[in-house]
C-alpha cells in the first residue's frame, strides 16, 4: 500500500470481532481468565489492551518496525527507551534537543549513572570527538527542536554502527509521512503522539518502535514494568488522528512554505530557520531524506526586545506550548519549551532568548500571513516611535 493508504488501513484498522471499521475503545482494566494460570491474549490493561494494540501495530507498520509501543506521553516513551541503558553508559545527543529530553537526562538519568555529551550532531567530527569507550547510543532529532537542524540520518547511522552504537531518532517533527528513520538505518524511533500524529491538540501520548526484536523485548519490558502506558480513549483518538495525517501534513507544509518565504522577506525579521528554504544549510539533505519539509518554522526579529509584544499581539495564531495541531501555535523556546536547559547551553547551541518557534497550522494562509504582518508592523511602528 501507498503510505497515505497505509495510514488508514495499516496495523489493526478494524475490529476483528464485529468488523467495525473503527477499533472500539476497550474501556476495561482486566479480562476474564477461563483457566487458572492460562490467560488469553489480554490479562491486564497495563500489559496490553486491544485499542492500544491496534495503535501500536499501526506505528510499527508505518515506521517499518517489528513492534510498536504507546505511552502516556512522549517523555514516558523516551524514559522507557533510555531505561535499556545501564549506569556508566554514555550517550551522544544533539545540542538543541527538546528541553524535556534534556531535563529527563540531566535530572533523572544522570543521577542514576547515565552520562551524555551534547554536540552539533550534523558534524561527524563532533560525534567523533564526543565518542568514548562507554558510548552506547546516538540520540538525534531531525528536524531538530527548535532550530530545525537537519541530520543526515543515513550517514549518522552508518557512523554509529561502525562504532557499535544504537541510533535513536525522535521523528516528531517529520512524522512517518515525511521521513522513516528505521529505513535510513536507525534502530529506534520515537514520537510525541501529542503533536502531528494526534493533530488536534486534544491528547497527550508517546510512541516508540524498533526494527530489532531484542530491543523490542527490552522496551516492552520497561513499558510494562514502569507502567506509563496510553489509555484506551487516547489510543483511539490517536489512531483516528493518524488516519488524516497525509492530508494534514500536506496542508501544514504548503502553508509553512508560504509563511517561511513571507517572513524571510519581512523587514522586521532578522533570520528564518526552515529546511524548505534554499538558503537553509541542510536544505539538500532534507530534500534527500524527507518527502517534504514539514510545518515547523523558527525565526528571529531584528529587535529582540519586541518578541513579547509580538507574540502577545497575535490574534489568529495562539501563544501556547506544543505543536502539530490544526491550529497555528507560537512560542518562545528560551522561556517556554527549552527553559530547563541552562542559558549558556541554549545560547551555545544557537537558541537565543529571542528565538521564536512557529507551528504553522492549516488555517487559510492569507489569515496567518495577515496576522503575522499586523503584529510585526505594529511592533515596528511602536519601536520607531
Catalytic residue (choose from 98, 139, 196, 274):
98
- Give CA–CA dist 92/139, Å, rounded: 6
Question: Could you tell me which of 273, 280, 239, 238 has the C-alpha nearest to residue 259?
Answer: 273
* Secondary structure (3-state) at 269: strand
| Cβ 326 vs Cβ 248: under 8 Å | yes
- In this predicted model, what pLDDT tens digit does every residue of 15-49 receive, in sequence order? 988 999 999 999 999 999 999 989 989 999 999 99
**Following DSSP, what letter does each residue of 319-375 receive, concatenated?**
E-S---SSS-EEE-TTTTTTTTS-HHHHHHHT--TT-EEEE--SS-HHHHHHHHHHH
170 annotated active-site: yes
| Cβ 316 vs Cβ 368: under 8 Å | yes
Catalytic residue (choose from 15, 31, 46, 218):
46
Give the range among 63-77, 94-108, 331-345 with minimum mean pLDDT.
331-345
Which pLDDT value is given to residue 385?
Answer: 44
Determine how β-strand 296-301 pairs with β-strand 356-359. Answer: antiparallel
- Give CA–CA dist 209/342, Å, rounded: 31
52 annotated active-site: no
- Give CA–CA dist 145/296, Å, rounded: 9
| Cβ 3 vs Cβ 180: under 8 Å | no
Catalytic residue (choose from 195, 248, 346, 357):
195
User: Is the pLDDT at 381 greater than 90, yes or no?
Assistant: no
Which pLDDT value is given to residue 380?
Answer: 67
98 annotated active-site: yes
Which pLDDT value is given to residue 278?
Answer: 97
- Signed CA dihedral, 178, 211, 169, 237: sign only: positive
Which pLDDT value is given to residue 17?
Answer: 85
Beta-bridge partners for 240: none
User: Is the pLDDT at 68 greater than 90, yes or no?
Assistant: yes
- In this predicted model, what pLDDT tens digit does every residue of 356-372 receive, in sequence order? 999 999 999 999 999 99
- In this predicted model, what pLDDT tens digit does every residue of 213-252 receive, in sequence order? 999 999 999 999 999 999 999 999 999 999 999 999 999 9
Q: How many residues does the chain have?
A: 385
Catalytic residue (choose from 170, 187, 234, 371):
170
Q: For all residues of the chain together, what is the average pLDDT?
A: 96
Amino acid at each position: 500500500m501507498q503510505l497515505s493508504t497505509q495510514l488508514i488501513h495499516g496495523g489493526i484498522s478494524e475490529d476483528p470481532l464485529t468488523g467495525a471499521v473503527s477499533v472500539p475503545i476497550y474501556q476495561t482494566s482486566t479480562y476474564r481468565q477461563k483457566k487458572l494460570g492460562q490467560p488469553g491474549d489480554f490479562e491486564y490493561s497495563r500489559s496490553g489492551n486491544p485499542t492500544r494494540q491496534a495503535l501500536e501495530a499501526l506505528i510499527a507498520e508505518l515506521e517499518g518496525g517489528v513492534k510498536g509501543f504507546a505511552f502516556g506521553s512522549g517523555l514516558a516513551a523516551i524514559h522507557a527507551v533510555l531505561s535499556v541503558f545501564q549506569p556508566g553508559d554514555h550517550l551522544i545527543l544533539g545540542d538543541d534537543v527538546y528541553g524535556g529530553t534534556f531535563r529527563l537526562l540531566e535530572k533523572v538519568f544522570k543521577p542514576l549513572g547515565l552520562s551524555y555529551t551534547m554536540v552539533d550532531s550534523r558534524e561527524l567530527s563532533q560525534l567523533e570527538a564526543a565518542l568514548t569507550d562507554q558510548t552506547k547510543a546516538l540520540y538525534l532529532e531531525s528536524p531538530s527542536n527548535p532550530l530545525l537542524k537537519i541530520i543526515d540520518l543515513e550517514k549518522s547511522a552508518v557512523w554509529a554502527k561502525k562504532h557499535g552504537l544504537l541510533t535513536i531518532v525522535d521523528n516528531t517533527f517529520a512524522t512517518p509521512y515525511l521521513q522513516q528513520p528505521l529505513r535510513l538505518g536507525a534502530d529506534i524511533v520515537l514520537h510525541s503522539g501529542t503533536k502531528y500524529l494526534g493533530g488536534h491538540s486534544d491528547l497527550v501520548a508517546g510512541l516508540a518502535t524498533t526494527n530489532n526484536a531484542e530491543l523490542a523485548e527490552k522496551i516492552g519490558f520497561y513499558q510494562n514494568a514502569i507502567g506509563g502506558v496510553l489509555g484506551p480513549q487516547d489510543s483511539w483518538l490517536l489512531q483516528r488522528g493518524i488516519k488524516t495525517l497525509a492530508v494534514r501534513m500536506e496542508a501544514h507544509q504548503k502553508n509553512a512554505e508560504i509563511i517561511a518565504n513571507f517572513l524571510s522577506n519581512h523587514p522586521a525579521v532578522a533570520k528564518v530557520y526552515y529546511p524548505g528554504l534554499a538558503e537553509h544549510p541542510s536544505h539538500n539533505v532534507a530534500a534527500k531524506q524527507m518527502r517534504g519539509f514539514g510545518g515547523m518554522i523558527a525565526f528571529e526579529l531584528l529587535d529582540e526586545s519586541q518578541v513579547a509584544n509580538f507574540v502577545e499581539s497575535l490574534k489568529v495564531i495562539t501563544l501556547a506550548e506544543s505543536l502539530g495541531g490544526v491550529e497555528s501555535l507560537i512560542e518562545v523556546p528560551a522561556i517556554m519549551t527549552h527553559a530547563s536547559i541552562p542559558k549558556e547551553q541554549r545560547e551555545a547551541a544557537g537558541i537565543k532568548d529571542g528565538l521564536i518557534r512557529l507551528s504553522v497550522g492549516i488555517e487559510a494562509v492569507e489569515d496567518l500571513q495577515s496576522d503575522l504582518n499586523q503584529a510585526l508592523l505594529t511592533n515596528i511602528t511602536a519601536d520607531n516611535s
